[in-house]
Structure 1
């Protein structure tokens, strides 16, 4: 599984193309805090949706051609979700250390 460090994500956010960030935490945690930036399109699709084959309609908003950075609190759930999405043909990377590492980097 391909990983991206918080530093690499920040550098990518300085580019011209928007970064598609998929946050797989529950909606309540997402609403409390998520990465916001003019160069980031952040989607919240909880991991339970990705784990459940019948509920994957929400993935229709993502094309398989778009690179996706998957994140969660620490990176564990993101890695599991990224494995599933990779198996479905999506171009995925995992934010190493999740939002915990991102917040440490941004301090």
Structure 2
């Protein structure tokens, strides 16, 4: 299954143009509290990994009707989480390079 990706620049454009962007940060709570994108939600990747074999995902409050942009530190964990969520019929996209790339992009603006 091919998971869509978007660059930090593309995400920045979406955040400016559309208030209805849902960003899911799958890093640990500590890392999330240290730095995160405004309006993002944190569900640690370990929680998503546990969902892989779960029959239902009713405990997770993610929107089924919106694109979910998944971010982690570098993009690797986000890709694994995206695959799991896509199999559960969520509309997912991965932030290329994760928050490391986002910070670099933000500095260059």
2:44 is the alignment partner of 1:46: yes
Alignment correspondent of 1:85: 85
CA–CA separation in structure 2 for the residues paired with 1:58 and 1:26 = 18
Aligned length: 102
CA deviation after TM superposition for structure 1 residue 18, in Å: 2.4
RMSD: 1.5
1:34 corresponds to 2:36: yes
- Identify unmatched segments of 5+ residues in structure 1: none
Please state whether the residue corresponding to 1:52 is helix, strand or coil: helix
Looking at structure 1, the residues matched to 71 and 15 of structure 2 have their Cα atoms a distance apart, in angstroms, of 15
- On the 8 A contact 1:64/1:89 being kept in 2, the answer is yes
Match of 2:33, SS state, is helix
For structure 2, the residue ranges without an aligned partner over 5 or more in a row are none
TM-score using structure 2 length:
0.87
8 Å CA contact 1:74–1:99 kept in 2: the answer is yes
Which of 11, 14, 26 matches 1:12? 14
- Following TM superposition, where does structure 1 have runs of at least 4 consecutive aligned residues deviating by more than 6 angstroms? none
